[in-house]
Copies of this chain bind each other. A is one copy, B any other.
Amino acid sequence: MKEIKVIAFDADDTLWVNEPLFQQVEHKFCDMLEDFLPHHSLSKELFTVEIQNLKHYGYGVKGYILSMIEAAIKISGRTLNIDAVERILELGKDMINAPVELIDGVEDVLKALQGKYRLVMATKGDLLDQERKLIKSGLADYFHHTEIVSEKNETEYTKLVKHLDIPPHQFLMIGNSLKSDVLPVLNIGGHAFHVPFHTTWEHEKVHHEIVHPKFRELSTITDVLQYTL
């Protein structure tokens, strides 16, 4: 671990709460459409539309709003009342303007690591939305650099490490997603710590155990300090 020079943090559900916001909105979406289908089927339909649309819209809240509208029309067999579309647009704006809730311990960890490592925020999603959350979080000053990408894969991590001007083994990524924050980083020769969040988006789930010398499974973000101070 002594070789690490740069520590990068994922943002959504690593620095601040995100997935619960989506789940609350999904719950309201299901309430709105419960005359058509039971809740679990509505969630499944929405998920299907969301995944199909990833190739068009990418990650983030605007694509999610568009997918909710599309799914609602489909689920209703095109009988949807226009007020429901208006309500979905409002739910979307509420999400965009929601306050940012930091995850316990995050600020203490950043404070403790500041000056000892170059700290980076590396996230995917909507550019404007993530920039805005960073500002609202009050954490912006801790980061030497922030990187918002459309997909967190080996290509993008290779670019990031090159851009940071370090060899991959000096890079540590910390995040809640094995798929986006851990596996591609280990594959390019970096270190990765997994800090699970209590809830994970279905699309980010990985169903196998990881054993790797540069990998650590932590229970909270504060545990990062055990390996880095």
Contacts and interface: CB of A to CB of B under 8 A. Distances in A.
A129 B60 CA distance: 13
Contacts of A117: none
Nearest to A62: B62
Given A56-B97, A82-B82, A85-B73, A63 B62 contact: yes
Contacts of A86: 70, 73, 78
A51 interface: no
A226 interface: no
Interface string A149-173: 1100000000000000000000000
Interface of A: 56-58, 62-63, 65-66, 69-70, 73, 76, 78-83, 85-86, 89, 92-93, 96-97, 126-129, 131, 148-150
A55 to B, nearest CB: 9
A96 B76 CA distance: 26
A187 B126 CA distance: 28
A204 B180 CA distance: 37
11 contacts: A56-B97, A65-B66, A66-B89, A69-B69, A73-B85, A76-B82, A79-B82, A80-B82, A82-B82, A127-B127, A127-B150
Contacts of A73: 82, 85-86
A148 B128 CA distance: 11
Given A66-B89, A81-B82, 14 more contacts: A56-B93, A56-B97, A62-B62, A66-B66, A70-B86, A70-B89, A73-B82, A73-B85, A78-B82, A78-B86, A79-B82, A85-B85, A127-B148, A131-B150
B56 A96 contact: yes
A73 B82 CA distance: 7
A77 to B, nearest CB: 10
Contacts of A92: 66
Contacts of A96: 56-57
A81 B131 CA distance: 36
Nearest to A97: B56
Contacts of A148: 127
Contact of A57 (B62, B78, B85): B62
